[in-house]
Structure 1
């Protein structure tokens, strides 16, 4: 085939297929939106006396000095704890251990939060914050609970990877309390992973 015929054929095919494939033009918009969402989601603290971004059955009440606060702080904190814990584990891990998390670990975290609020009393409870974002990689931190006015940390919730000989990997959920200067590990529960090494925290 002569060279000019080959060029003509290529040009003809190009003209005939023009407009048959149009790439999606919202790709850049999605990337920009994801960046915006990540910035919005990366909060440092979420005070109980401010309106929650998580929907819950309760509403806001107002103190005598006019400050708004969450009317059901225990439920609000439980919702925040669940969100932070799921974020910490990441989709790859959470999908595999979801049943045990929902049945054992998350209810136990809620119990610990309930105990803390009873110890602190109603006046102080309404100023609690879920502080700190979960640590990625191999760090233990899930979240801290602190007094929003003084920034005093009252409880630290962590998860650790344990490689038990002959068994495999377990996730040890525990917390530390202000009452003993965060020395003791108070066990929330253990969740079995597998004999294979689990991925890093927050892995998609």
Structure 2
């Protein structure tokens, strides 16, 4: 009886422990001979000390490259912000009367100038640091926005609009810009939009 119970116990223990032992994954068993071999050096090639493969490093590099804005992306971003600043500068009261004229006569010229400024900085990718800075000035101030080079920490261009009162003609809005290349001295024309013979509201009036 004891011998039979002992055999039964051995069989049960064998079934219970079956599969509990797993050979190390780094051993490569030969199916024919049953011999185990360490991994080939080729299997470890491409891994650095931190366990990253060359493919992983290439993926990280590609992701970093995609984070850099392209020239077209910068142009789109700057022109969109310029449009928003221009409409904010006009304010609702003035926009209701002349927004269409500003969008058709002024904005295309402004976008062309912005494209030129950004493209001229494209050789060394300095354009990636370009931003629209400064808020539009309210009241009677001329400032619409500035273009700022954050890497050089300097203003590149200033976009303004001036009120001109011409006798027997009325009020005109003169849109222009200044460049750092001439010390912001010259007035470079963007265009003009007629208002009325009556005095226009202050900038940004609601």
TM-score by length of 2: 0.65
Alignment of 1:41-190 (within 5 A): 64=65, 68-69=68-69, 72-121=73-122, 123-190=125-192
1:101-153 CA distances to partner (integer Å, 9 max, x unpaired)?
A: 11111111100101101211150111101000000000000000010123210
Displacement after TM superposition at 1:63 (Å): 5.4
SS state of the match for residue 72, structure 1? helix
SS state of the match for residue 157, structure 1? strand
Query: Is it true that 1:192 corresponds to 2:197 in the alignment?
Result: no
Whole-angstrom CA distance in 1 between matches of 2:169 and 2:74? 39
SS state of the match for residue 101, structure 1? helix
Whole-angstrom CA distance in 2 between matches of 1:104 and 1:62? 40
1:159-204 CA distances to partner (integer Å, 9 max, x unpaired)?
A: 0000011110000000000110100000000000000000000001
Whole-angstrom CA distance in 2 between matches of 1:84 and 1:62? 32
Displacement after TM superposition at 1:69 (Å): 3.3
Residue number among 176, 201, 204 corresponding to 1:202 in the alignment: 204
Whole-angstrom CA distance in 2 between matches of 1:134 and 1:62? 36
Query: Contact 2:91–2:205 (CA<8 Å) still a contact in 1?
Result: yes
SS state of the match for residue 200, structure 1? coil
Residues 196, 99 of structure 1: CA spacing in aligned structure 2 closer, same or farther, 3 A cutoff? same
Please tell me whether Structure 1 or Structure 2 has the larger radius of gyration of its CA atoms. 2
Whole-angstrom CA distance in 1 between matches of 2:64 and 2:102? 35
Off by >4 Å, runs of 4+ in structure 1:
61-64
Let me know the Cα RMSD of the aligned residues. Answer: 1.8
Residues 159, 125 of structure 1: CA spacing in aligned structure 2 closer, same or farther, 3 A cutoff? same
Whole-angstrom CA distance in 1 between matches of 2:203 and 2:187? 20
SS state of the match for residue 138, structure 2? coil
Whole-angstrom CA distance in 1 between matches of 2:64 and 2:136? 31
Query: Contact 1:62–1:68 (CA<8 Å) still a contact in 2?
Result: no
SS state of the match for residue 129, structure 1? strand
Number of matched pairs: 143
